[in-house]
């Protein structure tokens, strides 16, 4: 992850720290799971980092929920993008079993447990592919993002601060 952070700093280093953290939190697969540690590394307080990361992580969600199905349908008609779209769909649907059973809590927990391949982007993709209505999917994804924020925030500020204080 250091290499990715270094790349972001080289390309977007001119941005204020808050904008940089927001940008990192919007990137698929990284999301706020990366945004919060970056905020910590930049010396931001948890009280500033948390709202920035939550809002930034949620910005793409409505667009995914509203537009990913028609965009994927159009892309599948092209030779170039069909394999990529089918791979993304297969990956999302492979994880959808956890969401389908008790879909609200399944979706919230899927998004909230900070593991590779989970998060708001994948949760929104799964919700869209399962035809979960926006009014129901968005709150579940937001709850999941809040759960992930608590877990990652506690890990970063709750565990790193005391460890660093031991060596200071």
Helix-helix angle 31-41:2-12, to 10 degrees: 70
**162 in any annotated domain:** no
pLDDT digits (tens, 9 = 90+) for 33-48: 999 999 998 999 999 9
**153 in any annotated domain:** no
Tell me which residue range forms the domain holding 66.
59-147
Judgement on whether residues 70 and 138 belong to the same structural domain of the protein: yes
Judgement on whether residues 29 and 77 belong to the same structural domain of the protein: no
Judgement on whether residues 63 and 53 belong to the same structural domain of the protein: no
Residue by residue, DSSP assigns 27-77 as: STTTHHHHHHHHHHHTT--HHHHHHHHHHHHHTHHHHHHHHHHHHHHHHTT
Judgement on whether residues 119 and 78 belong to the same structural domain of the protein: yes
164 versus 60: which is more confidently predicted?
60
**158 in any annotated domain:** no
Judgement on whether residues 80 and 20 belong to the same structural domain of the protein: no
**77 in any annotated domain:** yes
Judgement on whether residues 88 and 143 belong to the same structural domain of the protein: yes
Task: Please name the residues in contact with 85: beta carbons below 8 A apart, sequence gap of 6 or more.
Answer: 72, 75, 76
Judgement on whether residues 71 and 120 belong to the same structural domain of the protein: yes
Tell me how many domains the chain contains.
Answer: 2
Q: What share of the chain is helix, strand, coil (3-state, %, to 5)?
A: 80, 0, 20
Judgement on whether residues 33 and 50 belong to the same structural domain of the protein: yes
Predicted pLDDT of residue 38: 92
Judgement on whether residues 81 and 47 belong to the same structural domain of the protein: no
Predicted pLDDT of residue 98: 59
**159 in any annotated domain:** no
pLDDT digits (tens, 9 = 90+) for 70-104: 888 888 888 888 888 888 777 777 666 655 667 89
Judgement on whether residues 131 and 67 belong to the same structural domain of the protein: yes
Q: CB of 147 within 8 A of CB of 112?
A: yes
Judgement on whether residues 52 and 68 belong to the same structural domain of the protein: no
Tell me the whole-structure pTM to 2 decimals.
Answer: 0.80
Predicted pLDDT of residue 74: 87
pLDDT category, 134, cuts 50, 70, 90? very high
Judgement on whether residues 65 and 140 belong to the same structural domain of the protein: yes
Tokens matching residue 1: 């992850």
């Amino acid at each position: 992850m250091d290499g990715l952070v270094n790349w972001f700093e080289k390309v977007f280093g001119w941005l204020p720290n808050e904008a940089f953290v927001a940008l990192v939190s919007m990137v698929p697969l990284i999301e706020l799971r990366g945004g919060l540690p970056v905020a910590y590394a930049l010396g931001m307080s948890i009280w500033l980092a948390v709202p920035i990361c939550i809002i930034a992580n949620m910005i793409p969600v409505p667009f995914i929920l509203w537009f990913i199905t028609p965009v994927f349908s159009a892309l599948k008609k092209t030779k170039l993008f069909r394999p990529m779209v089918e791979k993304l769909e297969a990956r999302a649907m492979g994880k959808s079993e956890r969401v389908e059973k008790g879909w609200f809590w399944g979706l919230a927990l899927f998004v909230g447990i900070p593991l590779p391949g989970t998060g708001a982007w994948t949760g929104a993709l799964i919700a869209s592919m399962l035809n979960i209505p926006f009014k129901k999917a968005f709150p579940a994804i937001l709850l999941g993002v809040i759960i992930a924020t608590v877990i990652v925030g506690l890990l970063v500020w709750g565990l790193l601060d005391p460890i660093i204080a031991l060596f200071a």
